[in-house]
């Protein structure tokens, strides 16, 4: 494999969501392994460029660079105006963070990693990609995305849970029940509760093995 | 560095001005980022070198994977002998640390962001960046602060020849002749190429006449 690559942000295939944002999976495109890096774009003002989340699970620091347009960040309830050229560095992983575009085409580059530890490809990349493909109707592609995630995280309960959902939607009941059981085994009560209310799993809910 | 978050305009990052060279925005240093390296560079004129030719395996490098993003203007990258036209929005990823890479500005104010880290290892600051931080005190002629900075860097990693060389320069400029000669000798022991550099480096003028000064071979 060639030791370097170039591409413009617009050339990398973007994927929808979560929410109203468009995700440009920069890290995946180049297979960057030393840190996380993604770009997010809003097609219209008012759309998300960063979905509301914290980094509590991963413990990542994040640096957002507003590359184009104009965003408004909300950090633990505090609003921050962020025109192009603004750097928003969030050291504390517990901070709730989100950003909304103030103009069409607003683009934010996000870099992340955990200080003091080697970077590991985040599991969410795989279920975000699976969601984009599954919601476009390609359940097999969604399952393949999750499968790729297991190469990095063989015991990730969320990957088992997400695969169970796509398998259930694809009519593969046996595989779905196995994966759901594994998700609850690894992830505990939270996953049992989610399963109780998740419509994606309706096709397997009547089975005796469904976690009650 | 205990704030939970920091918001800064790129324009307000760094105050180290060298008219001859592209402006450096030491983002990682100023924001106190610990998980990856990140800097930006802006050309003051077209044709200027923005990213000097380097690989990531040399003495000052961190064996980093590097991702460049052109934020504004237009640059030409040269990677492993190939050239790449890079207008704003172009990403150039150099995963192989042994490859030579460089970039030149094609337009004034061309700005490049670069992020880096070493695959499979926790982030550690590249020696060149650690040195650059201390070299700022040379520009402002705060030589005692430079000595303090490089002494600390030396304690943290005694194997860095560049740190020892810079420490010797700072000591020479602040009149600490014996310390300067000792650290210069140690720097040359670790990295013999510093012997030649020392012959013409104006920072070492005050100690060059000393009999203990390491002469040209």
Asked whether residue A212 is domain-assigned, the answer is: no
Residue A99 shares a structural domain with residue A128: no
Is the pLDDT assigned to residue A15 strictly greater than 90?
A: yes
Q: Return the pLDDT at B139.
A: 83
Residue-wise pLDDT tens digits, B83-119: 999 999 999 999 999 999 999 999 999 999 999 999 9
Report the pLDDT averaged over residues A112-138.
95
Q: What is the CATH number of the domain that holds A66?
A: 2.60.120.10
Contact B93 A114 (CB under 8 A): no
Contact A87 B94 (CB under 8 A): no
Q: What is the CATH number of the domain that holds A165?
A: 1.25.40.10
% of chain A surpassing 90 pLDDT: 96
Asked whether residue A211 is domain-assigned, the answer is: no
Instruction: Determine the residue among A9, A34, A38, A115 to mutate to test chain B binding: the one whose Cβ has the most chain B Cβ atoms within 10 Å.
Output: A34
Residue A95 shares a structural domain with residue A164: no
Is the pLDDT assigned to residue B1 strictly greater than 50?
A: no
Residue-wise pLDDT tens digits, B147-184: 999 999 999 888 889 899 999 999 999 999 999 999 99
Contact B67 A30 (CB under 8 A): yes
Residue A40 and residue A67: Cα distance in Å, rounded? Answer: 10
Of A10, A95, A111, the CB nearest to B38: A111
Question: How many CB pairs lie under 8 A apart between chains A and B?
Answer: 155
Q: Which residue of B has its CA nearest to A11?
A: B90
Q: Which two tokens stand for residue A148?
A: 């790729």
Q: What is the pTM of this model?
A: 0.87
In the β-sheet with B65-72, what is the strand arrangement from edge to edge? A4-8, B90-94, B65-72, B111-117, B37-42, B23-25
B120 has a chain A CB within 8 A of its CB: yes
Helix axes B127-139, B143-156, angle to 10 degrees: 160
Q: What is the ipTM of this complex?
A: 0.91
Residue A94 shares a structural domain with residue A164: no
Is the pLDDT assigned to residue B135 strictly greater than 90?
A: no
Is the pLDDT assigned to residue B128 strictly greater than 60?
A: yes
Residues 13-72 of A with CB under 8 A from B: 26, 30-35, 37, 60-61, 63, 65, 67
Of B38, B67, B120, the CB nearest to A118: B120
The band of A1, judged by pLDDT with boundaries at 50, 70 and 90, is low
Q: Are A17 and A4 in contact (CB under 8 A)?
A: no
Report the pLDDT averaged over residues A111-139.
95
Domain membership of residue A55 as a residue range: 9-113
Q: Which two tokens stand for residue B210?
A: 């000393």
Enumerate the domain spans of chain B: 10-117, 127-208
Residue A66 shares a structural domain with residue A161: no
Number of folded domains that form chain A:
2
Shortest alpha-carbon distance between residue A212 and chain B (Å)? 40
Residue-wise pLDDT tens digits, A168-208: 999 999 999 999 999 999 999 999 999 999 999 999 999 99
Residue A96 shares a structural domain with residue A175: no
Contact B7 A118 (CB under 8 A): no
Residues 151-210 of B with CB under 8 A from A: none
B4 has a chain A CB within 8 A of its CB: yes
The band of A133, judged by pLDDT with boundaries at 50, 70 and 90, is very high
Asked whether residue A119 is domain-assigned, the answer is: no
Q: Are A95 and A127 in contact (CB under 8 A)?
A: no
Question: Does residue B114 or residue B132 have the better pLDDT?
Answer: B114
Residue A45 shares a structural domain with residue A77: yes
Is the pLDDT assigned to residue B129 strictly greater than 90?
A: no
Residue A83 shares a structural domain with residue A18: yes
Residue A74 shares a structural domain with residue A105: yes
Q: Are A64 and A112 in contact (CB under 8 A)?
A: no
Of B1, B36, B79, the CB nearest to A35: B36
Question: Which is it for the CA torsion A28, A124, B39, A75, positive or negative?
Answer: positive
Question: Burial level of B158, CB count in 10 A (0-12/13-18/19+)?
Answer: exposed
- Structural class in CATH, domain B127-208: mainly alpha
Residue-wise pLDDT tens digits, A161-179: 999 999 999 999 999 999 9
How many CB atoms sit inside 10 A of residue A191's CB? 23
Is the pLDDT assigned to residue A148 strictly greater than 50?
A: yes
The band of B133, judged by pLDDT with boundaries at 50, 70 and 90, is confident
Residue B161 and residue B192: Cα distance in Å, rounded? Answer: 9
CATH homologous superfamily for B10-117? Jelly Rolls (2.60.120.10)
Residue A66 shares a structural domain with residue A101: yes
Asked whether residue A118 is domain-assigned, the answer is: no
Average pLDDT along chain A: 96
Residue A17 shares a structural domain with residue A94: yes
Residues 73-102 of A with CB under 8 A from B: 73, 75-76, 80, 82, 85-92, 94-95
Residues of B in contact with A118 (CB under 8 A): 120-122
Residues of A in contact with B11 (CB under 8 A): 85
The band of B18, judged by pLDDT with boundaries at 50, 70 and 90, is low
Residue-wise pLDDT tens digits, B33-87: 999 999 999 998 999 999 999 999 977 788 999 999 999 999 999 999 999 999 9
Identical fold for domains B10-117 and B127-208, yes or no, is no
């Amino acid at each position: 494999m060639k030791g370097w690559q170039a591409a413009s942000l617009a050339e990398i295939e973007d994927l929808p969501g979560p929410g109203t944002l468009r995700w440009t999976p920069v890290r995946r495109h180049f297979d960057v392994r030393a840190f996380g890096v993604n770009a997010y774009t809003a097609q219209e003002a008012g759309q998300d460029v960063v979905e509301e989340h914290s980094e509590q699970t991963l413990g990542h620091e994040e640096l957002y660079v507003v590359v184009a347009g104009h965003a408004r960040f909300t950090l633990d309830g505090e609003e921050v105006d962020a025109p192009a050229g603004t750097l928003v560095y969030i050291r504390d992983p517990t901070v709730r963070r989100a950003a909304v575009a103030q103009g069409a085409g607003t683009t934010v580059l996000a870099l992340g990693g955990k200080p003091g530890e080697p970077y590991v490809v985040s599991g969410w990349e795989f279920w975000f990609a699976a969601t984009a493909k599954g919601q476009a109707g390609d359940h097999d592609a969604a399952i393949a995305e999750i499968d790729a995630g297991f190469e990095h995280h063989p015991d990730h309960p969320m990957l088992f849970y997400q695969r169970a959902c796509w398998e259930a939607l694809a009519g593969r009941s046996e595989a779905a029940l196995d994966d759901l059981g594994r998700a609850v085994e690894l992830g505990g009560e939270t996953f049992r509760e989610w399963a109780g209310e998740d419509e994606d799993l309706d096709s397997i809910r009547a089975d005796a093995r469904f976690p009650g | 560095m205990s704030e939970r978050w920091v918001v800064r305009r790129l324009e307000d990052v760094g105050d180290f001005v060298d008219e001859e060279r592209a402006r450096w925005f030491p983002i990682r240093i100023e924001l106190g980022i610990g998980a990856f390296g990140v800097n930006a560079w802006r050309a003051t004129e077209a044709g200027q070198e923005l990213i000097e030719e380097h690989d990531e395996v040399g003495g000052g490098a961190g064996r980093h994977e590097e991702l460049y993003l052109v934020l504004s203007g237009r640059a030409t990258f040269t990677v492993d002998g190939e050239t790449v036209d890079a207008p704003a929005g172009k990403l150039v990823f150099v995963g192989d640390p042994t490859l030579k890479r460089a970039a030149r500005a094609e337009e004034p104010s061309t700005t490049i962001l670069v992020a880096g880290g070493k695959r499979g290892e926790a982030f550690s600051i590249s020696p060149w960046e650690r040195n650059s931080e201390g070299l700022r005190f040379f520009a402002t002629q705060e030589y005692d602060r430079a000595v303090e900075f490089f002494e600390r860097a030396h304690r943290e990693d005694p194997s860095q020849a560049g740190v020892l060389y810079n420490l010797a320069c700072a000591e020479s400029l602040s009149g600490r002749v014996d310390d300067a000669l000792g650290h210069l000798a140690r720097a040359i022991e670790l990295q013999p190429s510093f012997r030649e550099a020392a012959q013409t480096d104006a920072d070492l003028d005050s100690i060059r006449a000393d009999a203990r000064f390491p002469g040209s071979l």
